[in-house]
């Protein structure tokens, strides 16, 4: 008994050490974000923020709030669009056995393989003609392409697990397919909706390729471009850059704390069937 | 949790009370025959996503293909009357002095990233598969690099690898290693972006391989231990062979994802200095958006080569997954 506890204690120590090494860049981001301007070029750099300052965060509040707002709007828009498109599709593929469903599944898988930079170039050509460059709806649509194929796969996998009796019983009740979907399938799929929403929001919030090609230079630029301009323009104020990075990482932190099990489920479901 | 299951249960109970017990069986035969009404309903649900795929996947891809087959200037790009030039953009790309290095860098970047991400991810998965306190919490923390926005990771690594004020060089000189110009020397820039990308990719490998390990029955390890196999032998004789299907999926997906890595490289080095970290993805962007005079045609051509590569490996992935689903 005593021996086995000491053995797992040893493993916990190793685990904590490994995690510390892995997360060192994250700690460094925090540390630099709190460093004073005059200490920024110090050699060797301070390992702890001994002269910690919030100046970097003050700069973020002064300069980056519009970018954060834009990213929030685009993220929420992407979530709504993604769920609205993919939940009904998942239901049909999982429960209604459409002819040609296999082909659609295959197309969705293939769509995930297409590099974002290629999509961006095509979108650029189209948006240029439609006048949608530098517009928020344009970026929402482009960002949703990052999430929709994955979302359909998640919904299909999840809704396949809903017992067929429940759906058929509801149909006997006279409910049409739409009502079945709305009042039986969708409420039961709450976990899938959460998983899909989280990933759609995170991917759209993190997107850089579409932002830089489709929204660059416009009035509504997301936070990823806010950071990118910082890096390009003032190479000196790294505390402000890192403070912006910390703020831009907040959704990651929230997701990890509130919805960790959904994340792991999403990663696994995307890669491995069962 | 309770809320998700409760209302439907309640509903079905109510329905069952109302309907005769014999009712479900005709309903079942009806679904089996795929009646036309259900087909209409099914495709009604699928219509939005189908239209969406056509408009926002197929059409941009078509436009990209079209871009690569015409000679575009800035003016004809806006007016849309560029002359059709067949494969001459592809010829331009193949003859470009950047082609060979970009191909080499893409191959090296992908291979080295995959090898390290998989090896580290597998080692960590085996480690975390043991039971000890905090195991689940620490495993969750390992997800952070993968969930961070790429611009955050890339800019953090940029500053850590800064030649004069970066922590990496400071640590190196503390133990007596010559400082290196990580991002500004042509011989180190590719290594730098590879390091950053391995860091980002390890969590994905860890999570997927860990879930693979979970499905290996514990009785096999007990049997192996009874036969006198030590930990090393148990790994190579039990874990590794049984993990092969999951490994194949992980590596193939990783391959497709790594081929299209763009953000990290562009933010850290812009493919430079002097093309020393240019891959197909950054080269394509460089041609299309990176210069004052955009070369959309060649940029799209490079992009399409990348699509072909990604789809080839994607098809292999689908085949492997199908085979595993059948067996």
More confident: A101 or B81: A101
Q: Do B46 and A123 touch (CB under 8 A)?
A: no
Chain A partners within 8 Å of B57 (Cβ): 111, 114, 119, 145
Q: Do A172 and B19 touch (CB under 8 A)?
A: yes
| Chain B contact present for A227, CB below 8 A | yes
Nearest to A142 by CA among A154, A130, A160, A153: A130
Residues of A (131-170) whose Cβ lies below 8 Å from B: 141-142, 144-145, 148, 152, 164-166, 168-170
Nearest CA in chain A to B165: A41
Average pLDDT, chain B: 82
Provide CATH code, domain A58-271.
Answer: 1.10.3720.10
Chain A partners within 8 Å of B48 (Cβ): 84-85, 88-89
The answer, yes or no, to whether residue B123 has pLDDT greater than 90, is yes
pLDDT band for position B30 (50/70/90)? very low
More confident: A81 or B326: A81
pLDDT band for position B20 (50/70/90)? very low
The answer, yes or no, to whether residue B13 has pLDDT greater than 60, is no
- pLDDT tens-digit map of B239-282: 899 898 889 888 988 888 898 889 999 999 988 788 889 999 99
Q: The tokens 């017990």 sit on which residue?
A: B21
More confident: A219 or B6: A219
- pLDDT tens-digit map of B184-201: 888 899 999 999 999 999
- pLDDT tens-digit map of A190-231: 888 988 898 899 999 999 999 998 987 778 899 999 888 888
Cα–Cα distances (Å) from A266 to A150, B10, B180, in that order, read 9, 29, 39
Mean pLDDT confidence for B105-119 = 94
Question: Which residue(s) pair with B84 in the sheet?
Answer: B70
CA distance B272 to B286: 11
By Cβ distance, the residue of A245, A267, A271 closest to B156 is A245
Chain A partners within 8 Å of B72 (Cβ): none
Residue A259: both structure tokens together: 């919805």
Q: Do B148 and A252 touch (CB under 8 A)?
A: yes
| Chain B contact present for A55, CB below 8 A | no
DSSP code per residue over B193-211: HHHHHHHHHHHHHHHHHHH
CA distance B321 to A47: 47
Cα–Cα distances (Å) from B8 to A51, A92, A193, B4, in that order, read 58, 19, 17, 8
CA distance A127 to A242: 33
By Cβ distance, the residue of B12, B128, B146 closest to A169 is B12
Q: Do B59 and A126 touch (CB under 8 A)?
A: yes
Q: Do A208 and B60 touch (CB under 8 A)?
A: no
Please report the pLDDT score of residue B203 as a whole number: 92
Q: Do B152 and A171 touch (CB under 8 A)?
A: no
Please report the pLDDT score of residue A201 as a whole number: 93
Q: Min CA distance, A178 vs chain B (Å)?
A: 8
Low-confidence ranges of chain A (pLDDT < 50): 1, 272-274
- Read off the pTM: 0.84
Q: Min CA distance, A62 vs chain B (Å)?
A: 20
More confident: B164 or B117: B117
pLDDT band for position B110 (50/70/90)? very high
| Chain B contact present for A48, CB below 8 A | no
- Percentages helix, strand, coil for chain A (3-state, rounded to 5) are 80, 0, 20
Q: Is the peptide bond before B24 cis (omega within 30 degrees of 0)?
A: no
The answer, yes or no, to whether residue B16 has pLDDT greater than 70, is no
| Chain B contact present for A107, CB below 8 A | yes
DSSP code per residue over B20-51: -TTTHHHHHHHHHT--HHHHHHHHHHHHHHHH
The answer, yes or no, to whether residue B287 has pLDDT greater than 70, is yes
> Is residue B122 classed exposed, middle or buried when 0-12, 13-18 and 19+ CB atoms within 10 A define those classes?
buried
| Chain B contact present for A14, CB below 8 A | yes
Sequence ranges of the domains in chain B: 88-326
Please report the pLDDT score of residue A171 as a whole number: 59
Q: How many CB pairs under 8 A join A and B?
A: 328
Chain B partners within 8 Å of A22 (Cβ): 141-142, 144-145, 199, 202
Interface predicted TM-score (ipTM) of this complex, two decimals: 0.86
Please report the pLDDT score of residue A271 as a whole number: 56
Q: What CATH superfamily is the domain B88-326?
A: MetI-like (1.10.3720.10)
CA distance A43 to B160: 13
Mutate to test the interface with A, among B153, B156, B213 (most CBs of A within 10 A): B156
| Chain B contact present for A93, CB below 8 A | yes
Please report the pLDDT score of residue A2 as a whole number: 52
More confident: A208 or B324: A208
Q: Do A96 and B285 touch (CB under 8 A)?
A: no
Residues of A (185-214) whose Cβ lies below 8 Å from B: 187-188, 190-191, 202, 205-206, 208-209, 212-213
Query: Which residues lie below 8 Å from residue B188, measured CB to CB, with a gap of 6+?
Result: B180, B181, B182
Residue B278: both structure tokens together: 């240019």
DSSP H/E element including A113: helix A101-113
pLDDT band for position B21 (50/70/90)? very low
Query: Which residues lie below 8 Å from residue A97, measured CB to CB, with a gap of 6+?
Result: B31, B34, B38, B42
The answer, yes or no, to whether residue B121 has pLDDT greater than 90, is yes
Mutate to test the interface with A, among B64, B248, B320 (most CBs of A within 10 A): B64
Q: Min CA distance, A220 vs chain B (Å)?
A: 18
Please report the pLDDT score of residue A235 as a whole number: 63
């Amino acid at each position: 008994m005593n021996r086995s506890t000491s053995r797992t204690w040893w493993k916990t120590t190793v685990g904590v050490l490994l995690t510390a090494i892995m997360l060192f860049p994250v700690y460094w981001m925090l540390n630099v974000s709190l460093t004073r301007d005059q200490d920024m070029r110090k050699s060797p750099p301070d390992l702890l923020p001994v002269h910690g300052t919030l100046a970097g965060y003050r700069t973020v509040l002064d300069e980056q709030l519009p970018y954060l707002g834009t990213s929030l709007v685009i993220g929420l828009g992407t979530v709504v669009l993604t769920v609205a498109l993919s939940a009904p599709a998942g239901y049909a593929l999982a429960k209604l056995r459409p002819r040609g469903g296999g082909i659609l599944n295959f197309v969705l898988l293939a769509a995930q393989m297409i590099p974002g930079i290629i999509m961006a170039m095509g979108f650029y050509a189209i948006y240029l003609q439609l006048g949608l460059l530098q517009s928020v709806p344009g970026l929402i649509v482009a960002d949703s392409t990052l999430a929709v194929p994955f979302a359909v796969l998640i919904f299909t996998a999840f809704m396949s697990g809903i017992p067929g009796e429940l759906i058929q019983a509801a149909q006997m009740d006279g409910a049409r397919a739409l009502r079945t979907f709305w009042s039986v399938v969708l409420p039961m799929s709450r976990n899938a909706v959460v998983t899909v929403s989280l990933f759609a929001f995170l991917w759209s919030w993190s997107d850089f390729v579409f932002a830089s090609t489709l929204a660059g230079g416009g009035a509504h630029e997301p936070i990823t471009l806010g950071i990118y301009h910082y890096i390009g323009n003032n190479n000196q104020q790294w505390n402000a850059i890192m403070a912006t990075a910390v703020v831009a990482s907040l959704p990651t932190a929230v997701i990890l704390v509130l919805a960790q099990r959904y994340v792991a489920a999403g990663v696994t479901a995307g890669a491995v069937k069962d | 949790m309770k809320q998700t299951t409760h209302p439907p249960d309640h509903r079905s109970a109510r329905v069952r009370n109302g309907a005769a017990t014999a009712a479900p069986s005709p309903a079942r035969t009806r679904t089996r025959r795929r009646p036309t009404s259900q087909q209409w309903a099914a495709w009604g649900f699928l219509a939005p996503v189908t239209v969406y795929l056509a408009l926002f996947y197929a059409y941009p891809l078509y436009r990209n293909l079209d871009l690569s087959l015409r000679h575009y200037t800035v003016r004809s790009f806006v007016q849309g009357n560029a002359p059709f030039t067949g494969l001459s953009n592809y010829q331009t790309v193949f003859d470009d002095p950047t082609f060979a290095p970009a191909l080499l860098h893409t191959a090296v970047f992908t291979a080295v990233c995959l090898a390290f991400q998989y090896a580290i991810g597998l080692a960590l998965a085996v480690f975390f598969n043991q039971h000890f306190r905090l195991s689940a919490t620490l495993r969750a923390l390992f997800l952070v690099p993968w969930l961070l926005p790429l611009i955050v990771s890339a800019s953090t690594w940029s500053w850590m690898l800064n030649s004069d004020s970066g922590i990496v060089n400071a640590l190196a000189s503390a133990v007596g290693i010559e400082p290196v110009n990580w991002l500004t020397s042509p011989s180190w820039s590719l290594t730098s972006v590879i390091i950053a990308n391995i860091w980002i990719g390890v969590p994905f490998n860890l999570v997927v391989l860990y879930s693979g390990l979970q499905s290996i029955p514990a009785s096999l390890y007990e049997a192996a231990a009874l036969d006198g196999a030590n930990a090393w032998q148990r790994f190579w004789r039990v874990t590794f062979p049984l993990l092969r299907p999951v490994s194949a999926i992980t590596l193939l997906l990783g391959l497709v994802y790594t081929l299209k890595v763009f953000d990290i490289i562009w933010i850290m080095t812009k493919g430079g200095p002097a093309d020393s970290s240019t891959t197909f993805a950054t080269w394509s962007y460089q041609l299309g958006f990176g210069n004052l005079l955009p070369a959309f045609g060649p940029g799209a051509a490079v992009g399409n080569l990348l699509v072909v590569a990604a789809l080839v490996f994607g098809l292999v992935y689908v085949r492997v997954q199908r085979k595993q689903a059948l067996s």
